[in-house]
Amino acid sequence: MWFAYGILSFFGLESHTHATTKLKSAKEIMASTKWVYRFSEVSQLESDLDESWEAVLGLLGGKGANLANMTRLGVPVPPGFTITTAACNDYLQNDHRLPDGLWEQTIAAIERIEAATGKIFGDPQNPLLVSSRSGAKFSMPGMMDTVLNIGMNDEVARGMAKDNDRASFVYDCYRRLVQMFGTVVLGVPDDVFENALHSYKLHNGKKEDSDLTAKDWEQITQMFQALVQQNVEEPFPQDPKLQLRQSIESIFNSWNSRRARDYRNAANIPDNLGTAVNVVTMVFGNLNEHSGTGVTFTRSPSSGERSLFGDYLMYAQGEDVVAGIRNPQPIHLLENELPEAYRDLSDVCKKLEDHYRDMQDIEFTIEDGKLWILQTRSGKRTARASVRIAVDMASESLISRDEALQRVDPEHVNTLLHPQFNLESLEEAKSQNRLYASGVYASTGAGVGQVYFDADTVERTVKKQGTDVILARPFTKPDDVHGMLAAKGILTSAGGATSHAAVVARQFGVPCVSGSTSIRMNIEKRRMVASDIVVNEGDWISIDGTNGNVYLGRIATSAPLLEEQTELLTLLRWADEVCDTPGIRTATNGKPLRGLQVWANADYPADVQRARQYGAKGIGLCRTEHMFFEENRLPVVQRMILGSTLEERQEALDELLPMQRDDFEGVFTSMQGAPVIVRLLDPPLHEFLPDEYEVWRQLINKRVSSLARYLLGQETPDEIARLEALLARVQELHENNPMLGLRAVRLSIMHPEIVAMQVRAIIEAAAKVQLNDVPVKPEIMIPLVGHINELRVIVPEIRQIASLVMEEKDVKISYKVGTMIEIPRAAVTGDEIAQTAEFFSFGTNDLTQMTYGFSRDDAERNFLLKYVDDGILSRNPFQTIDQEGVGKLMHMCVEAGRRTRENLEIGICGEHGGDPESIDFCHQIGLNYVSCSPFRIPVARLAAAHSALRHQPA
């Protein structure tokens, strides 16, 4: 097969036809490697393409593979060829030298194009012009380099311009080559050319490009050539082959540009893939009034609506559209200007969407009425569009439900629930005439922040100040991507729905308004003006990427309601069906399920109700200490801590009992028989008391105010006595390392009266709810257990209290007692722990701290982020489970626990429970559920379905 030949030949293996064949030299192997594939050559190998599409994408990149595939399908694609990603990697690894044999294969491929087109590369009379475009395996729009009109020089331009009717077109093409080559290959700043062009127009009284004559373009071309000489101290190259060679090398180098690296980091694209180079015969959208260029999506990338969505420009080349330099026309207007070309485009769109079974992003050029397709790829889309397209395509039987689930990234669900403008605040802004400008609604969502006018300042401001920022630019370029990723929103005064800003914003879920033409931005003066209203850098603005409006000042936002997201609810229902089908893991109801259940971390009845609305199947963590911090309860808790006798402490606990019981009653009622895991008191007692410094401050103030009486010993005011007692208790409870001190199970053993109150509150609440004919399933969790003997002390006390309450209430409650696995010793002795514990729940925050020996807050503040930036750690282990370390402990614990208790219920309740990668790991090691914050539940439901589909038995 062709791709196998390419890979084998790289190692010289294709020559080993029998045992006596001599080994090739390294240089011979490299020279015989197939680095170049013609579009037509690949298209003849249909079976190989279908059987090894991943190999094709890896070798030719997405653009090259799709150009070849479209050629195979009969779509009108200009002749061309692809230089492989393997060539790029070889070039970058070998001191930026082209691999042996590559240039010769490139020239041979050019000769094939010459034969196919009847044109000659570098011939002034009948010249072949080509473009060189990047194309990695995964789409990285605008992140790498493109050069158009390669093959033009002074002599070719003069030859082409002999036909006076084409002279303007010719020199327009030539100046584009000089500008792009100068910027991309030679490193001249693009502003040098743009400013010169603007000055020329201003000096000559010309407003639009279309106002410029052939003579103007010729003079501009000469001016651009002089700028190249001035900036790089060498002339613009006149040799077409040298232009091509340098363009290829520039594209290879652009793989490691800052913008490309930033994009790959944000999109989790590996750095070792490399980019292909696609050399394509030029077709010209700037030839005449019957020519144009554009980008269209087969469905709306913003809403997912099933209709063509895109932009086009007449008398233009493709970069004019995607760069956002000119303001294009909506694609539907093309039907009026060039109806036949529009019909052809609509037919191609349907053909490609049906073939790829996904929404396509298509670049096209119309040359003198003839349609040419320059690229197709799966289109970047907003979260909203991603969900709608997946659900619609499944409903249309274009894809299966399982495929629909896999098409939507779990983080898309999170983005879909991002804040939108609060309706009341929005109406108030409108009534105050704060609408500043309007543009193209390019990426949905509400963005509120201080406006800054360059990407570096945006990134710096966010990192140093943590401020919400809006990036405002006339138009964005690939070099701006680091600022775009840091911003809360993007605003441009030029460009359309398919501009660079729009595409990048949609992919990363950043609200964007593009092409707001009424705004005049002055980057040098750091301000923008619309309707005579000046907005200076640092001023607050609000942008609405859903309808394209820009407002002055801040507008309050609110999260969309899940119940209003019809397509998302459908998708999540399908996700639950995948996880709930019969499988190998045992659910809490004893039924074997295929996927993980998703539970919630929720402490109050309101949180629990939200969790149920978001689809939680249980409560994996109800933290009782959060209830203690409420304003009316904290003084009672403090009285309990300050009590010098058991009687005093018990009096305060008796006062807390009905408060805790009411909380649990609300939680159990809301869950309607689903399991609820209540964690007994976890933090050390000092957390409920004021800071020692604050107590000292209050005490000193009181003493000063009562100094005379205090010094005379006449009396000690009650308040001073209270503060002195408080200070003494704070100092008594002080620990050098409180996170490893008297807390959790240790506190329960030292102060069993606290456990007694909490267990009584749990069982009394369960009894009351059950007597009201509402099923309950309480589970009592003991935190921070490190040794089986701790459970042997505390569990009998829990069961004794529970039995006593059930006897008092004349009711039988089915409940469990289990533990959090947070200490490495507990993980490695899981078989012993399971002798007493009826369930395990991994508290991965503390487990990670103790496994690494990190204090999370100190680590993230002092060194952890640098560890990640420098590659010492690949991920922040507090965000994604460290599978090689913490994960091994978890897996060991699961296996050991289930050797003792076969159907041991095991879940996770740390913050990792809402992280898709961590969820996948939990699926693989056989957990029953993951528990996360209510707002992450929809994300976790989809991620759990992904894992079930990814790891389903063959």
Rounded to the nearest 5 percent, the helix, strand and coil shares of the chain are 50, 15, 30
Could you identify the residue written with the tokens 């490697």?
33
Catalytic residue among 418, 482, 500, 923: 500
Q: Is 512 a catalytic residue?
A: no
Residues in the chain, overall count:
954
Q: Which helix (H) or strand (E) segment is 61 a member of?
A: helix 53-73
Question: CA Rg, the chain, in Å?
Answer: 34
Contacts of 253 (CB under 8 A, 6+ apart): 92, 96
Burial classification of residue 5, based on how many CB atoms lie within 10 Å of its CB (0-12 exposed, 13-18 middle, 19 or more buried): middle
Could you identify the residue written with the tokens 């969505």?
309
What's the number of CA atoms in the CB half-sphere (13 Å) around residue 712?
A: 7
Q: Whole-angstrom Cα distance, residue 562 to residue 612?
A: 11
- DSSP code of 325? S
- Backbone phi, then psi, for 130, in 5-degree steps? -135, 165
Q: Whole-angstrom Cα distance, residue 628 to residue 551?
A: 42
> What is the residue type of 708?
A
Q: Cα dist. 440→77, 510, 550 in Å?
A: 30, 14, 11
Q: Whole-angstrom Cα distance, residue 451 to residue 111?
A: 52
Q: Whole-angstrom Cα distance, residue 827 to residue 814?
A: 27
Contacts of 500 (CB under 8 A, 6+ apart): 141, 142, 322, 323, 324, 475, 476, 477, 478
- CA 471 vs. chain centroid, Å, equals 18
Q: Whole-angstrom Cα distance, residue 621 to residue 383?
A: 29
Please name which of 674, 615, 563 lies closest in space to residue 941, comparing C-alpha atoms. 615
What's the number of CA atoms in the CB half-sphere (13 Å) around residue 297?
A: 25
907: three-class secondary structure by DSSP: strand
Q: Whole-angstrom Cα distance, residue 155 to residue 122?
A: 9
Please name which of 332, 231, 354, 340 lies closest in space to residue 290, comparing C-alpha atoms. 340
Catalytic residue among 893, 909, 922, 932: 909
Q: Parallel, antiparallel, or unpaired for β 469-473 and 446-452? A: parallel
Q: Which residues are catalytic?
A: 500, 909
